[in-house]
């Protein structure tokens, strides 16, 4: 998508330097646009763990490139597959909730284990394939999700379609297009008036800092709201549609997403607002059927709750404490929205119910592959 009017992606191999993967360091947004070089597996591990990159699809893509960097490093020393398996385990331990991480690692590792050409060439071609497929899946999520926005627009001519989203499930969370934002970008490109309510998404404020920034760069009307405003706006008829992303979706449609998503789904159910989840198929965990019991929820540092960082008028970014020094803080980073609260899923193959029959109807070969393995 666009940055200062020029098309951009979130991750790429540095032109002319095959030993360097480049990312946008998302910690600096929206105050600065910083490109960071990753030259080793440890760089990739740090980038995922410390959230220079984040968002389920982008975590997967970064892990794939991280294994490529591990192969290059090991070519200078320890180039055996057992060593790479150990490195893959270190990568997998960075963040627990988004299943795209394990999916991408296992995909690259199985290619490496059966490689008959150079390991570096194999890892590079698999990372490139994962990246290109992600772009296409996210584009197709937009093509399919567009019908929802078109339907609402046709019922309220000349008025904007008001869409609420939580966290950042935009292009910054994937390689391009985003998941929840892709239908919005497609609608905007067709001239359909859209307006996005952007939840700020405490504690890390991915909505206020990332979603607001990327929507602004595309010229899309949006308003940042505090996380607790969504229910009120739904009661007032100010929200036509909710679209969020997912970090892991069970076989039967339970959805893990950024903390606070569940409360939005409850409010949407109570007020009759359609609540959709946009996800590419690598976000589906075909092996589990109970999100609340089986999806690991990342617990992050309490300092993300006790402190907040922002931009000072003098041009510096500073962190300030919000809470009394003696107060403890808890920081669960994701929650589960059960399938019964989800109106539908938007995938690269189309829309479906949040149910096992809905998902297996769209992805029969993926559902079968897990059951038979």
Q: Does 358 bind ligand MRU (CB under 6 A)?
A: no
Binding mask 83-102 for ligand MRU (x = CB under 6 A): ---------------x----
- Residue 247 a catalytic site member: yes
Opening angle at CA 338, ends 336 and 342, nearest 5:
115
Shortest CB 98 distance to ligand MRU, Å = 6
Q: Does 169 bind ligand MRU (CB under 6 A)?
A: yes
CA distance 328 to 284: 35
Taking only Cα atoms into account, the Rg of the chain, rounded to an integer number of angstroms, comes to 20
Residue among 251 and 258 whose Cβ is closer to ligand MRU: 258
**Site residue total, ligand MRU (CB under 6 A):** 18
Which strand (E) or helix (H) includes residue 350?
A: strand 350-352
Residue selected from 162, 182, 246, 343 as contacting ligand MRU according to rule CB under 6 A: 246
Q: Judged by CB under 6 A, which stretch of 79-87, 172-180, 192-200, 230-238 contacts ligand MRU? A: 172-180
Cβ contact 236:20 at 8 Å: no
Collapse the DSSP code of 324 into the 3-class scheme (helix H, G, I; strand E, B; otherwise coil) and give the result.
coil
**How long a stretch of residues is the chain?**
373
Residue among 74 and 94 whose Cβ is closer to ligand MRU: 94
Residue selected from 9, 22, 44, 57 as contacting ligand MRU according to rule CB under 6 A: 57
Q: Which of 227, 247, 254, 335 is catalytic?
A: 247
Task: Find how far residue 77's CA is from the centre of its chain.
Answer: 35
Touching ligand MRU, residues 103-162 (CB under 6 A)? none
Burial class (CB in 10 A: 0-12, 13-18, 19+), 304: middle
Q: Which two tokens stand for residue 150?
A: 């078109």
Q: Does 260 bind ligand MRU (CB under 6 A)?
A: no
Shortest CB 156 distance to ligand MRU, Å = 27
Touching ligand MRU, residues 327-346 (CB under 6 A)? 333
CA distance 184 to 180: 8
**Comparing C-alpha atoms, which of 115, 104, 102, 94 is closest to residue 49?**
94
Task: Give the dihedral of Cα atoms 364, 365, 368, 372; nearest 10 deg.
Answer: 170
Residue among 122 and 213 whose Cβ is closer to ligand MRU: 213
Residue selected from 10, 62, 94, 174 as contacting ligand MRU according to rule CB under 6 A: 174
Q: Read off φ and ψ for residue 306, nearest 5 degrees.
A: -75, -20
Q: Does 258 bind ligand MRU (CB under 6 A)?
A: yes
Catalytic machinery residues: 247
Binding residues (CB under 6 A) for ligand MRU: these are 54-57, 98, 167, 169, 173-174, 178-179, 206, 245-247, 257-258, 333
């Amino acid at each position: 998508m666009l940055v200062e009017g020029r098309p951009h992606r979130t991750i790429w191999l540095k032109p002319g330097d095959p030993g360097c993967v480049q990312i946008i360091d998302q910690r600096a947004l929206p105050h600065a646009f910083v490109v960071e070089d990753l030259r080793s597996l440890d760089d990739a591990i740090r980038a995922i763990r410390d959230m220079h990159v984040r968002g389920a699809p982008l975590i997967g893509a970064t892990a794939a490139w991280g294994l490529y960097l591990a192969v290059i490093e090991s070519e200078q020393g320890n180039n055996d597959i057992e060593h790479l398996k150990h490195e893959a385990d270190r990568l997998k331990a960075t963040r627990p909730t988004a299943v795209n991480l394990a999916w991408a690692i296992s995909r690259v590792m199985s290619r490496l284990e059966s490689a008959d050409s150079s390991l570096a060439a194999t890892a590079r071609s698999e990372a490139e394939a994962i990246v290109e497929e992600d772009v296409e899946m996210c584009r197709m999520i937009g093509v399919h999700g567009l019908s929802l926005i078109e339907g609402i627009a046709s019922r309220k001519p000349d008025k904007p379609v008001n869409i609420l989203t939580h966290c950042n499930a935009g292009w910054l969370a994937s390689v391009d297009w985003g998941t929840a934002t892709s239908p919005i970008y497609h609608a905007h490109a067709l001239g359909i008036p859209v307006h996005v309510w952007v939840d700020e998404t405490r504690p890390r404020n991915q909505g206020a800092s990332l979603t607001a920034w990327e929507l602004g760069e595309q010229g899309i009307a949006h308003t940042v709201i505090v996380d607790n405003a969504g229910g009120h706006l739904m009661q007032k008829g100010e929200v036509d549609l909710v679209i969020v992303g997912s970090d892991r979706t069970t076989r039967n449609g339970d959805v893990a997403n950024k903390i606070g998503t569940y409360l939005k789904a409850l409010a949407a159910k109570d007020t009759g607002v359609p609540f959709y989840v946009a996800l590419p198929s690598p976000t589906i965990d075909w092996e589990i059927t109970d999100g609340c019991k089986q999806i690991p929820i990342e617990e992050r540092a309490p300092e993300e709750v006790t402190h907040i960082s922002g931009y000072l008028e003098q041009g510096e970014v500073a962190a300030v404490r919000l809470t009394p020094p003696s107060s403890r803080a808890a920081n669960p980073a994701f929650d589960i929205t059960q399938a019964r609260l989800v109106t539908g899923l938007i995938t690269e193959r189309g829309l479906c119910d949040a149910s096992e029959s809905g998902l297996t109807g769209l992805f029969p070969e993926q559902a079968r592959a897990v059951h038979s393995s």
